[in-house]
Amino acid sequence: MESNSFDFKWLIGIVRENFKLFLIVGFLSAIAGVVVSLPIFMTPKFKSTAVVYPANVGVYSEESQTEQMLQYFEASSIRDSIIEKFDLYNVYEIEEGSSNSRFYILEEYRDNVRVSKTKYESILLEVISEDPELASNIADEILLQVNLKYDMLMNTRFEGIVEAYEKQMNYQRVVIDSLESLIAKISTENDVLDYGSQTRELVRGYVDVLSRSGSSGINDDLQKLLTNTQEKGSLIKMLQNLSYMATVQHSELSAKYLENKVFHEADLQFTDVIVEPEIADKKFWPVRWLVLVIVVVSSLLFTLVGILLFKKA
């Protein structure tokens, strides 16, 4: 503890002994910091920022909607589209097609286009460029591309679902038509119209004839009609039940078909933009006071190290 105190006092003593030197170095480094931070040496960079929330987005797995949307912002197809549309090879002064040019353009893109999730489950998009208008345009284009990509994928997904439901509906329609045709054929050939009511009336008539005339009063037509109703009526009833169930299934399929068709044909937006990208009127980098502090502090430390080395020599 005493040694540390002694060392600290010793350093303070060195600074006091060389106060004028430190003052001169600090003054000159401050001037150097101001000069270095001038636009001629450090080209100003501007930042355009957007904050968005995902909207109308389904979830594939345990990822949140925000985490899922982040993957779209980082999609290689969107990145390559931005690089091509804004000629970023030329902007970043990289010779396209040269050795490692792909590596360098991707590094520049990652450094200047940043996407992250905020603590409020929104997505923060930051685009940095020497041209404030270019930064804003790139941010706008990324938001547009994300919407278009998600819209394309959603349309493709719902198109397949809609087609599947449509095939099932057509199949059920064929089943219903076949059952109705079969019911009509059996009913016509056997004079069986309504199994339930017709059976009641035939039994009532049969009993009435028996009570008045006995079995001799029952003619062949009545006996045939009663026999046909007994033999074919239950079959028709079964077919009618099958037709009813097929109709119910067709109605359920139609409801799901229409629900998915709405999503397939709807013009949806998949991002709610809370903060629109704007053309920055103030530079993002360099921060002159920070450059000044770094240069001055570094110069003073180097001066102190130099004095210490000189004293030990």
Can you tell me which residue has the tokens 């239950």?
Answer: 234
Together in a domain, 218 and 257: yes
Is the distance from CB of 60 to CB of 68 less than 8 angstroms?
A: yes
Give, for 113, the enclosing helix (H) or strand (E).
strand 113-117
311 and 241, same structural domain?
A: no
In a domain, 146, yes or no: no
**Residue 103 lies inside a defined structural domain of this protein:** no
Domain range spanning residue 184? 159-265
Angle at which helix 132-190 crosses helix 220-265, to 10 degrees, equals 180
222 and 306 part of one domain: no
Full-model pTM:
0.63
Task: Report which residue type is found at 4.
Answer: N
Whether 126 is in a domain gets the answer no
Domain count, the chain: 2
Structure tokens at 248: 């119910």
In this structure, is residue 215 part of a structural domain? yes
57: in domain: no
Residue 55 counted as domain residue: no
Helix, strand, coil percentages in the chain from 3-state DSSP, rounded to 5: 70, 10, 20
Instruction: Give yes or no for a cis peptide into 286 (omega within 30° of 0).
Output: yes
Reported as a single tens digit per residue, the pLDDT across 172-189 is 899 888 888 887 787 667
Instruction: Please list the rounded mean pLDDT of every run of 10 residues in the chain (313 residues).
Output: 56 79 84 75 85 75 77 89 93 88 93 91 92 94 89 79 87 88 75 50 48 47 52 72 88 85 70 87 75 83 83 68
Q: Dump strand ranges (E) for 19-73.
A: 46-54
Quick one: CA dihedral 56, 57, 62, 63, positive or negative?
A: negative
The DSSP letter of residue 266 is: -
Do residue 164 and residue 212 come from a single domain?
yes
Hey, what are 29's tokens?
């480094």
Task: Identify whether 152 is part of a domain.
Answer: no
Same-domain check for residues 220 and 299: no
pLDDT tens track for 105-163: 999 999 999 999 988 889 999 999 989 999 999 999 999 999 888 888 777 777 788 88
Q: Does residue 206 share a domain with residue 297?
A: no
Phi and psi (nearest 5°) for 192?
Answer: -110, 110
